[in-house]
Amino acid sequence: MLDFTYNVPTKVAFGHDAEARVGELLAEQGATKVLVHFGGGSVVRSGLLDRVLGYLDEAGIGHVELGGVQPNPRISKVYEGIELAQKEGVDFLLAVGGGSVIDSTKAIAYGLAEPEHDVWELYEHVRTAKACFPLGSVLTISAAGSETSNSSVITNDETLEKRAYDDDLARPRIAIMNPELTMTLPDYQTACGCTDIMMHTMERYFTSVAPTMELTDGIAEALLRVVRDCALILREEPDNYEARADVMWAGSLAHNGLTGCGTDGGDWSAHMLEHEVGGMFDVAHGAGLAAIWPHWARYVMADCMDRFVKFAVNVWDVDPEGKTDEEIALEGVAAVEEFYHSIGMPTNFAELGIEPTDEQLEKLAHDCAIACGGTQGSAKVLGEPEMLDVYKMAAGRA
């Protein structure tokens, strides 16, 4: 097992009516005035926003609200949040929503802590954050794991660049997680979330470095099996609390670093490839990942065969008897595709609903290589030509 540092400082309040504790938990953090950040109308229609504001009022904590966060959150909304929070003198940020809202909140928190700098510079990776305002979340969507992770992803409205920035400074102080809040999600959004959760684990799992890490592998494999099974349950029973609870907790564990302890960090090529697709076409993140991953997997498999074999056997129950390693690995990838289809996820660009031109594919590869600093990958290192190959496979042009 490789050396590692595991840092998860977030206090989690999990379970029925957990949001009722928001005033108590923010008071513990010393919050006196809070920017409550949220997305569209769902938190308003459900009454969740009013309940959260009421709990803050009961605790004597002032607040100001900013809605309008979109999927693939925009830097323009971040700038708006920074300006509002500065004007109102807030000292704590609270995201009420899913990963997009939390990511937008993290970016605002960076911007507030260093107002002399443009926060987009962090996402361009031209500087490193030195400070970050405290933040927390009331989670409504199980997917990104941003409620306990150090990650955030923001899209530039003008350039359509979608960029990630990871820093422990932005790990939320609190995460309030009530699985019941996810029961009103559309089936497609639930499926996208389950896909994203599994991908956060799968990308840590596939590594060319093969240390002895049976515990980390075992945790990752169990998480993948549980989310797979729960996704199928939720397809038929969207109000199943136990399945919702398992998926919600898995979302945090999949992206707080746990399933990468002792590895080289894994291979994040599929995520980076999807970021460019999401930036250009504004597709749902989980669906974009599903459309790309099988093609990435087949492209890199020969360079990481032992991991693909283990994945196929231990997660997807592929019978290895009498089969070559390649046959086992390919059956595992096919099983992932079958699962994606069973929950309504795409496995290529056509099923995703996009038809990039050859010029667009070339731009996607070029921009992805720039975003990655030239190359990306552990299972197999990809440069711009290899990235283009994967995009072409996903587009059915390989």
Decide the pairing of beta strands 151-155 and 162-166.
antiparallel
Whole-model pTM: value is: 0.94
> Cβ(327)–Cβ(236) under 8 Å?
no
For the stretch 82-118, pLDDT in tens is 999 999 999 999 999 999 999 999 999 999 999 999 9
For the stretch 122-153, pLDDT in tens is 999 999 999 999 999 999 999 999 999 999 99
Domains and CATH numbers, the chain: 11-181 (3.40.50.1970), 185-394 (1.20.1090.10)
List the structure tokens of 99: 């990963």
> Cβ(188)–Cβ(231) under 8 Å?
no
Helix residue ranges per DSSP H, the chain: 22-28, 42-45, 48-58, 75-88, 99-113, 120-124, 187-205, 214-236, 241-255, 269-281, 285-300, 305-316, 325-342, 349-352, 358-371, 384-394
Please list the residues that pair with 37 across neighbouring strands: 66, 95
| Cα–Cα distance measured from residue 299 to residue 194, given in angstroms and rounded to the nearest whole number | 24
* Closest to 285 measured CA to CA, from 116, 153, 123, 102: 153
Within 8 A by CB and 6+ apart from 323, the residues are 331
Residue 67: Cβ within 10 Å count:
17
Most confidently modeled of 184-188, 207-211, 340-344? 340-344
For the stretch 63-79, pLDDT in tens is 999 999 999 999 999 99
pLDDT exceeds cutoff 70 at 38 = yes
Please list the residues that pair with 94 across neighbouring strands: 36, 136
Please list the residues that pair with 90 across neighbouring strands: none
List the structure tokens of 159: 């350039």
